[in-house]
Structure 1
Amino acid sequence: MRWWPIRRALAFALCAALAVPAAKAGPDYPPVLPGTVMRFPADGGAHPDFRTEWWYVTGWITDERGVERGFQVTFFRVRTGIGEDNPSRFAPRQLVLAHAAIADPAVGRLLHAERSERALDPLAGAATGATRVWIRDWQLEWAQDHYRSRVDAGSFAFDLRFDPSGPPVLNGDKGFSQKAGDAKHASHYYSRPQLAVSGSLRVDGATVPVKGRAWLDHEWSSELLPDGARGWDWIGINLHDGGSLMAFRMRDERGGSMWSSGTLRTAAGETRALRPAQVAFTPQRRWRSPRTGAEYAVEWDIDIDGRRLQLRPLLDDQELDSRRSTGAVYWEGAVRLFEAGREIGRGYLEMTGYAERLRM
């Protein structure tokens, strides 16, 4: 679940648009409406009329020596509202931004990189009709029956294939995912949990084969952050029994929950939407970033409809500073999920709005 600040993205677009006339008025972003039917593979592609959109893949991978690491690759599309009446293909009507990261315990912190470009084929873009989003040689693409992502960030690189184990999981009410009491604050949102990962990873100058499990989220929306919200906490967990758990809460200025929701899928493929009263996040151990001073709860107790679970990180320092692209500092990291002392799943935890309130 991601609702991103676009301050830096818009600054980038404004610089690019100095030589072209601005649009006469702001764009008419379409609302997210309940009852919208998702269709695949078409809805795996971009929805360029909406304000923001993102494709987000995270997972755990293991190399041939048994070394475990986490990885992340995220692509964002932003409709800027700039140059919409300008016929030039160089007008920055759409931006594409990307983050990539490796969580490596041997390094002790995230290795990460970011990119941002106006949508301009063949340099960068987000295709409609099926998943294909790219910035230069960074890409995520759907190819017949699987996804593939390639990233070369200099200090690390990966080329990974993701094979689905089942159909997309529609979050909320058949893909209508509410983020606040007012239903206008919502996104179209589906997940692809339990993706089988295969491919290669380059770290420390060596390229090694890897395999593992991953999770893909795809959301698009037109609304801004709800009034009074500072950020959110989100998890996407591949359960060891073959099921999956997504849960999030919107957080106010005092750290309290404004809204929460989730989706629990069983190993048999049965999906259950979780209401706000069925999802509770309670922070436990905290870690303070030596770079930004932000304090994050890196261990959590999570209650899912009376089921008490515990979340523990692969490593504490998984803070990602993306102020050169999306403008946000956030914690995005590989975690393990436990129940009664037994590990029952692995996935990712995202925490935003701790360094500063998200301005969107």
Structure 2
Amino acid sequence: MRRRVALFYPIGLWAGNARAADAAAQAPALGVSERRLQFPADFGAHPDTRIEWWYATGALVAAEAPRGAAPTHGFQLTFFRARTGLDAAQPSRFAAHQLVFAHAAVSEVSGGRLRHDERIARAVLGVAGAATGDTRAWIRDWQLAREDTASPPGSRYRARLASDAAGFTLDLALSTTQPLLLQGRAGYSRKGPDPGQASHYYSQPQLAVEGTLVLDGRRRPVRGRAWLDHEWSDTLLHPEAVGWDWIGMNLDDGSALTAFRLRRADGRTLYAGGSWRTAGGPVRAFGADELRFAPGRSWTSPRTRARYPVAWQVDTPLGRFGVEALFDDQELDSRASTGTVYWEGLSRLTDAAGRPVGGGYLEMTGYVERLRL
């Protein structure tokens, strides 16, 4: 998608973002290891690690829709931070020690249309950045930030962005209804069979969403349910892995299901993981041998000719689930920023009998070519 370039930048916002970028450059190096995550510090950026992302997805309905109404729209907003490897001793304020990327998308279920846009910028002069100490990532007027809430105690994330190219605006508040979900072993998530292939990873499932969606100038008050992931790592992909298949699902009873697998070029699973948590219950982490992904119906992209399984059967220790896209064409071409094409889409979750039990997002990478991080 064509990227909109801002020619002017508010001085006050520039100054605040510049201070945040300076703080990020001076953050202590903690790396990725089995340690106890500390909050709010670990809500923020970890500039000593190679790659990091904050990833929010959700299902939306009209604000006045009845309870239990089927989603009419989905949204995705992801901010990526990547360390460039430039010598830290380089003193110039223009030196690109960190890059920031952003992807945003809106899925329109009626009509099966996906709108998406992307941005990339150097984390210099306050134009873009990812702050340490708490969640705040931005590229010009695209922003995601967290604040504490007193009643009920928790977090509220604010997502604000506008895309002239794709014709949409998002202004959403995502409020926690449950505690943090630490993935893997207390937030240390293995991503392969070899030591060191791991990330720090936590989720915020069952977020309550309120806000505004604007499509082609038409303003729509919306509400819904969302999921947020924050993950950072130095090494995510084993040399034999070409990509991954991942689901993050909010169940109607308040439970949360995460499942992923790293995939070899021949389609076989290299490594797998995930978790289950009931509303108010403990986390049940899945071992690498406890998950089975079986592809069902496929869809072929008319643009890239990649063939994506848009329906899956996922066997977990808690039972069998079905995952099916609400519509097929949710492929995102981000070669102008992160350099990859992937499928990321609003999907429904069913139980072993085929009954709807929830929904969320399915992500599939490495189907056009091997994912590069």
Q: What TM-score do the two structures reach when normalised by structure 2?
A: 0.86
Q: Which amino acid aligns with 1:161?
A: A
Give me the whole-angstrom Cα distance separating, in 2, the residues matched to 1:297 and 1:290. 15
Identity %: 53
- Worse-superposed segment, 59-68 or 266-275: 59-68
1:145-224 matches, within 5 Å, as: 145=149, 146-154=156-164, 155-224=167-236
Deviation at 1:31, TM superposition (A): 4.6
Deviation at 1:238, TM superposition (A): 0.5
Mapped contact 2:181–2:202 kept (Cα < 8 A): yes
Give me the whole-angstrom Cα distance separating, in 1, the residues matched to 2:264 and 2:30. 26
Mapped contact 1:247–1:261 kept (Cα < 8 A): yes
Give me the whole-angstrom Cα distance separating, in 2, the residues matched to 1:318 and 1:286. 13
Match of 2:118 in 1: 114
Deviation at 1:105, TM superposition (A): 2.2
Give me the whole-angstrom Cα distance separating, in 2, the residues matched to 1:296 and 1:109. 17
Deviation at 1:33, TM superposition (A): 1.2
Deviation at 1:167, TM superposition (A): 1.8
- Worse-superposed segment, 167-176 or 265-274: 265-274
Name which of 288, 291, 296 aligns with 2:303: 291
Match of 1:57 in 2: 56
- Worse-superposed segment, 175-184 or 190-199: 175-184
SS at match of 1:43: helix
Q: Work out which structure has the larger RCO, using CA pairs closer than 8 Å and 6 or more positions apart in sequence.
A: 1
Q: Structure 1: which 4+ aligned runs deviate by more than 6 Å?
A: none
Q: Structure 1 stretches of 5 or more lacking a match?
A: 1-28
Q: Which amino acid aligns with 2:288?
A: P
| CA deviations over 1:132-182 (Å, ceiling 9, x no partner) | 000000000012221100010121011000110122110000111001111
Deviation at 1:305, TM superposition (A): 1.3
Give me the whole-angstrom Cα distance separating, in 2, the residues matched to 1:306 and 1:148. 33
Give me the whole-angstrom Cα distance separating, in 2, the residues matched to 1:137 and 1:196. 23
Q: Which amino acid aligns with 1:86?
A: Q
| CA deviations over 1:77-97 (Å, ceiling 9, x no partner) | 000012432101110100010
Give me the whole-angstrom Cα distance separating, in 2, the residues matched to 1:31 and 1:351. 27
The alignment's C-alpha RMSD in Å is 1.3
Mapped contact 2:210–2:223 kept (Cα < 8 A): yes
1:124-139 matches, within 5 Å, as: 124-139=128-143
SS at match of 1:110: strand
Match of 2:254 in 1: 242
Match of 1:341 in 2: 354
Q: What TM-score do the two structures reach when normalised by structure 1?
A: 0.89
Give me the whole-angstrom Cα distance separating, in 1, the residues matched to 2:79 and 2:93. 21
Mapped contact 1:83–1:91 kept (Cα < 8 A): no
Give me the whole-angstrom Cα distance separating, in 1, the residues matched to 2:191 and 2:95. 32
SS at match of 1:144: strand
Q: Structure 2 stretches of 5 or more lacking a match?
A: 1-28, 66-70, 150-155
Mapped contact 2:192–2:237 kept (Cα < 8 A): no
Q: Which amino acid aligns with 2:368?
A: A
Deviation at 1:280, TM superposition (A): 0.9
Deviation at 1:326, TM superposition (A): 0.2
Mapped contact 1:30–1:222 kept (Cα < 8 A): no
Give me the whole-angstrom Cα distance separating, in 2, the residues matched to 1:48 and 1:322. 23
SS at match of 2:289: helix
Match of 2:13 in 1: none
In structure 2, relative to structure 1, the CA distance for the partners of 1:255 and 1:246 (3 Å cut) is same
Give me the whole-angstrom Cα distance separating, in 2, the residues matched to 1:224 and 1:143. 29
Mapped contact 2:198–2:236 kept (Cα < 8 A): no
Deviation at 1:277, TM superposition (A): 1.9
User: How many equivalent pairs are there?
Assistant: 331
Give me the whole-angstrom Cα distance separating, in 2, the residues matched to 1:127 and 1:99. 18
Name which of 305, 313, 316 aligns with 2:325: 313
